A and B are shown apart, each in its own frame.
Chain A
Amino acid sequence: MTVATPPREARNQRSYWGNVFSALRSTAAGMRITFRYLWSKPVTIQYPDEKLPTDDRYRGIHYLEQDLCICCDACAKACPIDCIEMDATRHGKELEWHQFELDYQKCMFCELCVYPCPKDCIHMGKEYAFVTEDRGELLLDLLTWKGLTEQQKIRIAEAEARKAAKAAARKKKEAEAAEPPAAGEPPAGGEDKEDA
């Protein structure tokens, strides 16, 4: 109590009743704020039951559109840490797949494997929770879609449905282009785009 108070603080010191009323006022203000927050919607979610939506550009576990893939090894060559292994035997137009394995012990989700693909058949998925008790399970066989979640399988099915719709549309366009020869220019341009 004998500590000398600086003059500025001394000026700011409240009177007895000023203290009482400022305490009441500030407590009431604080209680009003917490009461408002009490009824606000919680920002947290029940994680394993519901998940926050991932961004469209999110780089999760890959998924492979297997029947499009031509086993060109471009993605494996692009991979800076060599975590993609693929192997297939060609029987005419058919490929007999042996292996398309991604090593998630190494993968850093850089997305560099996606760009060089000539068939646009390898993609970054949205699945991020990939926890196992065994390191061996981190070697994911994308061919059989082993270890993929239900959600991811649904996404792959959706992607395949889209692909089928696209192919159907292309076939229809081609048929239309074949019938009236006068309107040959625009569909040809469209086909070029498809190839690129």
Chain B
Amino acid sequence: MNLFPIALPALTEAAAEPPSGDVGNPATDFLQGLLPEAVPWWMLTLLGAGLAFAAVMLFVTVIAMFSVWLERKVAGHIQVRLGPMRVGGWHGWAQSIADGVKLLLKEDLAPEGSDKVLFKLAPMLVLATALATFVALPFAPGLVIADVDLGVFFILAVSSVTTIGVIMAGWGSNNKWSVYGAMREAAQVASYEIPLGLSLLPPILYFGSFSLVDASAQQAGIGAWAETSGQWFGMAWYILDPTRWLVSIPSFLIFFIALLAETKRAPFDLPESESELVAGFHTEYSGMRFSFFFLEEYAAMFVMGIVGVCFWFGGYSFPGITALEPGPLLTFLSILSFTVKGLLMVFVMMWVRWTLPRIRIDQVMSLGYKYLTPLALALVFVASLIEYFAFVIAG
């Protein structure tokens, strides 16, 4: 049973028949085993949705808190400092928890003359979109909250709603710096949606599916793609296919640059450039509302990193893991591999942030429109040709 039955027509044969076999929602399946038969289906669905939401919320919070701590450690060590060392004992591991508690206790302020409704709604909207994107991520074989056929499309669409939240925050704050930040965000995100979407097309053409679940299963050699599991020690990762290097490597680079701009990370952190705009769109926010923006940033980084991992680096697959029998061990190791890969991507984003200086808004625009978009378009063309000839050769 699909929790979010977005009934979209299947684009390809592969998308129409998911290889993982079981498309049931793991949360509802789990509850079905626990509850008596007499429970009506709608209650099961609601309870399953609640369980899935709780799991996602917990996962996102833990990942975001860990990322914040990691960011501060990475920043510290790149600048030959130590970073947080005090809270919690070992290398300040509890720093994010302490910060969270502090933010929870802060006063919830709204500036005078601000649009109270927009101001209070914006952080919720922003966080909700970040949480919603986790729905389509395949954590392990068969473990996805909603097996959306157009998984990437869903993630890109929902994550771009964040922009609306940011504009609401900037406008509602009654602060010129916030409006500047929000406008920059709008311009930047609207520009970089194009290369981001285009750079995802080569892997989509390769896998013949928009679904992250299909892409992961295909690269892990699961289900209908079991015959590929012999390659590369059980990995049929897109980035490891030498016949596609001409497109896979440049498209990944373009994807990575565009995702930095999408997630407002340095060197594209113009919406909140602290040296010019105080803190951009979240200047006026305090306490928990501020931390929602923070949480969203790290959650979005993780989700975007996972999109990259699912399409180029084999999703949850890892040598040796996918050869295991389906079971709790496989699921656990897959989730571990998935999380570690996502955090590695997040680490690279941090590494970029602490290396490169922020670029000017005209440079952002010129990079997006004059370099990334045409290159991504050319790559889509080349990738189409390659996939066509590969299809012809394969017969």
Contact = CB atoms under 8 A, between A and B. Distances in A.
A128 interface: no
Contact of B77 (A20, A27, A39, A46): A39
Contact of B356 (A27, A41, A43, A46): A27
Interface string B278-314: 0000000000000000000000000000000000000
Given A20-B371, A34-B354, A44 B82 contact: yes
Interface in B371-388: 371, 375
Interface string B69-91: 00000101111111001000000
B243 interface: no
A40 B81 CA distance: 10
A46 B85 CA distance: 8
A19 B253 CA distance: 15
A45 B356 CA distance: 26
Nearest to A29: B355
Given A30-B355, A31-B355, A38 B74 contact: yes
Nearest to A45: B82
- Contact residues on B (Cβ < 8 Å of other chain), bracket: 10 to 19
Contacts of B356: 27, 30
Given A30-B356, A31-B351, A31-B352, A37 B82 contact: no
Contacts of B253: 24
B80 A37 contact: yes
Contacts of A39: 77
A42 interface: yes
A20 B370 CA distance: 11
Contacts of A33: 355
Contacts of A30: 355-356
A164 B79 CA distance: 49
Interface in B332-366: 351-352, 354-356
A38 B82 CA distance: 10
Most buried by B among A19, A24, A31, A38: A38
A43 B79 CA distance: 9
B371 A37 contact: no
A39 B85 CA distance: 17
B355 to A, nearest CB: 4
Contacts of A24: 253
Most buried by B among A24, A31, A33, A34: A34
A138 B234 CA distance: 72
A104 to B, nearest CB: 30
Contacts of B76: 42
A27 B266 CA distance: 13
Interface residues of A, number: 18
Interface in B34-88: 74, 76-82, 85
A19 B371 CA distance: 9
Contacts of A40: 77, 80
A31 B356 CA distance: 8
A37 B79 contact: yes
Contact of A38 (B78, B85, B352, B371): B78
A20 B376 CA distance: 13
Contacts of A35: 351
A42 B375 CA distance: 41
A42 B80 contact: yes
A29 B81 CA distance: 21
B355 A44 contact: no
Contact of B81 (A27, A31, A42): A42
Interface in A129-170: none
B375 to A, nearest CB: 8
Interface string A1-45: 000000000000000000110001001001101110111111110
A37 B354 CA distance: 11
B82 A46 contact: yes
Contacts of A19: 371
A64 B210 CA distance: 81
Nearest to A19: B371
A37 B78 contact: yes
Nearest to A35: B351
A52 to B, nearest CB: 14
Contacts of B77: 37-40, 42
A34 B371 contact: no
Interface string B248-260: 0000010000000
B366 to A, nearest CB: 10
Given A31-B351, A31-B355, A35-B351, A43 B371 contact: no
Interface in A42-70: 42-44, 46
A20 B366 CA distance: 12
B147 to A, nearest CB: 37
Interface string A101-145: 000000000000000000000000000000000000000000000
Given A33-B355, A37-B77, 17 more contacts: A20-B371, A27-B356, A31-B352, A31-B355, A34-B78, A37-B78, A37-B79, A38-B74, A38-B77, A40-B77, A40-B80, A42-B76, A42-B80, A42-B81, A44-B80, A44-B81, A46-B82
12 contacts: A19-B371, A20-B375, A27-B352, A27-B356, A31-B351, A37-B78, A37-B80, A41-B80, A42-B77, A42-B80, A44-B80, A44-B82
When A and B form their complex, which 4 residue pairs have the shortest distance between CB atoms, in order from nearest?
A: A34-B355, A30-B355, A42-B82, A34-B78
